[in-house]
Structure 1
């Protein structure tokens, strides 16, 4: 249109780096980070991140380089979320629980230029670097993160890096808001983990979205119970800067540390897998004291919620539980809704309905442009009948750019102009979307599609069961039949028939497992059950019913 112009005056590439600069100006005297006896103000965090970026630049880190980190939720990892992109480089926070071989494979794929390592994990990283040295990839610069600022002799450590930095360093902003800011790996629960690339734009928008999710006011106190290596901590490092909040860092997450942090630091929000609620429930069982204020808890990921009586108790004590559904490719949780026990009491079938609406359904958020359940072939939306199964798909500015060095998988994920989650779901008449199962995990029993998740939801409610996984067992007549793998709580002893009978009182006959195996379940480094291993063992006959 005549008279229209796009220039630096009216267009600035979106980047969450800008949140830190604003936090230093607006909230400069407010506490930004607390970690044990360590405490920083926002103006100090801003200064430290600039010096970190300056030092990285002096070490040769520049636009497009990848900087890895292996550390728990400590202030240094938080600062890397700003310091690395301030050089134009890309941050990849890796799971500290990875073994040396897996870690070496990821470092080889990424071709990292530098790696920051917490002292607790230096041994496994050194083993990984030794393996990497046998390849044609140059070994990265290693920077040690010490505890209590201990002397590391001649080794390059985090404090020495900061001492190198200059506070007048000129920050490198992205040339395009679609430039990559970080890489996060998927859990690999259905196969090989993939490196997911996030853009500055997606990180910026997703960080702002978190405020809409909870309705949190400015300057919240956020407890770091979700790992920063998981979708960059669901983008909360950047969200807290945008909101001028306070980050309470934890090296170890337990029920006691969570409760103590709420009372000591006035925590208002924390996130993580549903298992967090179980830890809190166990802690409060001994001393069920009411919270000093309302605390929002966002849970998403594998695992079921605690028993209804535990949920009621948590709600009565002051926890507001928000259940979410998402994935690495969408930068974390996408849909969410607050589900309270009082709400569920209005339902005719409390246990079954609550299990279904917990973390696997919701409504699309403000920034997610499209959330739908479609026929994966015709790409037409399925009817809102709560029965017709389709594939859950997303369309948004807060989705990944693609998978690292995997063009084929990227094209498959975006085929048809939507992100294909490979999760199967249904749409209910009221518009809610309910996940039924992963496409690889559904059980085709005589032409009837059975959700393994719904069977697991029932089994996990048995008082003696700690974990459960259900897969399809090959059957000559029906094709597949449900088979359950169960890990019992310590000291418990039951037989398979008890599990089957328990399922009989909650599930239709054709969906009940007719075989049960007891023992440890194969999990990956993030704690997710690897069902493909269970299926493989069934085919090979490695498991025998007990």
Structure 2
């Protein structure tokens, strides 16, 4: 039993080394693609801990896990009404399970000579070539023993191999598990807890000292060992699992979210429609491909025959250069990336070849950032969703009558979460206890709930969490929001983030919007600090722009008091870098622990006054 890595090199501005790892245990295997930097980090972890970690123990194709166990699909294709209609049948002529695999097969025919993917100056494939490579990779995986329901875990940055795995793995009837490239020991523990089969023993040896064995598979060699004549293994049911995505863990421990072929197919279409994409767009990859399967756009780009421009290192300079070089038409980015672009040095920017459409989501974008991006020549669409909804569940659909409004007002309107996307049956704001609709008055707060075909099948091996999330026949987001008279939803806070001070509810998002309007603030997050008198008080964590190091806590507090009711203004301000997930979301649970450790503000102030 030996696990040894080999490497695959992708040309770019500098060499990016990635490796395919086939981990073998009891004849069963896991395929991982690792960047060299990540490999070094993992290698260091395993060396220092001196453990060989067994994880992925449990599975999707074994007798103890039915294919539809999480989806609980109870539909009857042959309903009584259909049986009463003479001559009506359901067969292979009029019913084929929906799967995004069909997008690639069509692209290979319709867009065969169009560019599928670009990476740096040397890697470029057409859709015909990408299709052939995916067939070979699927064939190679099957030859390695991967079978129906097995989990293939991919640990990779935004490189062409990651795109290929999204098609090749389901082509082999397996389930793709895309792992966060910032994988650490806590995630290893989580994977061990979930016990995904096949059982894998992960043993990371010294890279330089690895000697060739039969268990080493360099990516291109592995791919070339397969056959392009491979017969694609389509899902038996469109409710079969296609992928597993772990939540970002901003408010709790990450959970494995199971997607099915039907949901992936529908959400791919929904997302590119929200993005305003036509045939053959050019899409820049700044969203991690491991996050919600790249918001399902890996599959969606195949449906449109578009060009994927892979960007390994996300920086404002690299984004502007890639847009200019590749004539990018669309991209998606978290608000943190928009902030980076909006606050970038003029020397890092290049003129846009045309208007570039950006879809943003993940956290509510500050209106100030949206306004700056519009001034730079970008068109920004704002969507809202969760890992559990395959990405966007709502979109702030723009209305022509808003075009004549001042820039600041347009930005405020665009920062709202909006209305449900096409393939979601319903998104609403309701009382989480009674499930009654809240008035559409822009003031009454409820929880965002949704239902439809692009809601997850369930949480992997966590029936209790699945049941809780689906209570009352709706998926509960945990986000508090209002519905405006025009039907547009606007998030006010997470259920766990709302601050209750002296009996008054304080929306942390409203306080953060004011903080972002301060000329010295580049990032801000607000959490509750315990207080013996008021219960809780707002505590702000702030990252300052360069050149504003002299800004004081009291200046920030006074600024907020000038723009907010006094009780909503922060009583505590700390200046530091904000902890974030790999997708740019602020990890508020870490900040809450820091604020809690500060103790009661009232007690502190009282002691200070007494000492004076």
Q: Same fold (TM over 0.5)?
A: yes
When Rg is computed on C-alpha atoms for both structures, the one with the higher figure is: 2
Match of 1:500 in 2: 557
How far, CA to CA, are the matches of 2:117 and 2:581 in structure 1?
A: 31
Among 342, 345, 349, the alignment partner of 1:281 is 342
Q: Determine if the alignment matches structure 1 residue 2 to structure 2 residue 58.
A: no
Q: Does structure 1 residue 371 correspond to structure 2 residue 432?
A: no
Question: In structure 2, what is the equivalent of residue 106 of structure 1?
Answer: 191
Q: 2:374 aligns with which of 305, 315, 318?
A: 315
Deviation at 1:219, TM superposition (A): 0.7
Q: Relative to structure 2, which stretch is displaced further, 533-542 or 57-66? A: 533-542
Partner of 2:442: 386
Which residue of the partner structure matches residue 201 of structure 2?
139
Paired with 2:461 and 2:390, the residues of 1 have a C-alpha distance of: 19
Q: Does 1:271 align with 2:339?
A: no
Counterpart-to-counterpart distance in 2, 1:377 and 1:108:
31
Q: Is the 8 A contact 1:267 1:295 kept in 2?
A: yes
The correspondence for 1:402, drawn from 452, 458, 461, is: 458
Partner residue, 2:63: none
1:298 matches 2:359: yes
Q: Secondary structure at the match of 1:187?
A: coil
Could you list the runs of 5+ residues in structure 1 that have no partner in the other structure?
A: 114-136, 146-150
Shift in CA distance, 13/33, structure 1 to aligned 2, threshold 3 Å = same
Q: Distance in 2 between matches of 1:344 and 1:186?
A: 36
Match of 2:277 in 1: 216
Distance 1:282 1:442, change over 3 A: closer
Map of 2:288 onto structure 1: 227
1:513 aligned to which of 550, 560, 570: 570
Alignment partner of 1:79 out of 130, 150, 164: 164
Q: Closer, same or farther in 2 for the Cα pair 1:52/1:8, shift >3 Å?
A: same
- 1:438-517, aligned counterparts within 5 Å? 438-491=494-547, 492-517=549-574
The SS at the match of 2:594 is helix
* 1:19-38 correspondence to structure 2 within 5 Å: 19-36=103-120, 37-38=122-123
Tell me if the contact between 1:312 and 1:341 (Cα under 8 Å) persists in the aligned partners: no
What is the DSSP-based 3-state SS (H/G/I as helix, E as strand, rest coil) of the residue aligned with 2:238? coil
| Equivalent position of 1:175 in the other structure | 236
Which of 393, 405, 415 lines up with 1:334 in the alignment? 393
| Distance across 2 between alignment mates of 1:294 and 1:284 | 20
CA distance in 2, matches of 1:158, 1:98: 21
Cα RMSD (Å) of the superposition? 2.8
Q: For residues 101 and 386 of structure 1, what CA distance do their matches in structure 2 show?
A: 40
Offset at 1:210?
A: 1.9
Once the two structures are TM-superposed, the CA of residue 152 in structure 1 deviates from its matched residue by 9.2
Q: Evaluate the alpha carbon distance shift between residue 152 and residue 501 of structure 1 in structure 2; reply closer, same or farther with a 3 A threshold.
A: farther
C-alpha offsets along residues 511-533 of structure 1, whole Å, 9 cap, x if unaligned?
Answer: 11122223343434444333223
Report how far residue 383 of structure 1 moved. Answer: 0.5
> Corresponding residue for 1:133?
none
Mapped to 2, the partners of 1:110 and 1:271 lie a distance apart of: 33
1:237 and 2:298 equivalent?
A: yes
Distance 1:317 1:152 in 2: 52
TM-score by length of 1: 0.87
What is the TM-score with the length of structure 2 in the denominator? 0.78
Q: What is the number of residues matched between the two proteins?
A: 513
Deviating more after overlay: 456-465 vs 379-388: 456-465
Q: Does structure 1 retain, via aligned residues, the 8 Å contact 2:291–2:583?
A: no
Match of 1:428 in 2: 484
Structure 2: gaps (5+ residues): 1-83, 606-612
**Does 1:92 pair with 2:177?**
yes
Closer/same/farther in 2, CA of residues 542 and 285 from structure 1, 3 Å limit: farther
Is the Cα contact below 8 Å between 1:389 and 1:425 reproduced in 2? Answer: yes
Specify the alignment match of 1:42 in structure 2.
127
| Cα 1:262/1:85, change in 2 over 3 Å | same
Tell me if the contact between 2:392 and 2:421 (Cα under 8 Å) persists in the aligned partners.
no
How far is 1:156 from its partner? Answer: 1.4
Instruction: Confirm or deny: 8 A CA contact 2:397 2:419 kept in the other structure.
Output: no
Describe the SS at the equivalent of 2:201: coil
Deviation at 1:385, TM superposition (A): 0.8
What is the SS of the residue equivalent to 1:196?
Answer: strand
CA distance, structure 1, for counterparts of residue 90 and residue 116 of structure 2: 36
The answer to whether the 8 A contact 1:277-1:306 is kept is no
Please say if residues 321 and 340 of structure 1, whose CA atoms lie closer than 8 Å, have aligned partners that are also in contact: no
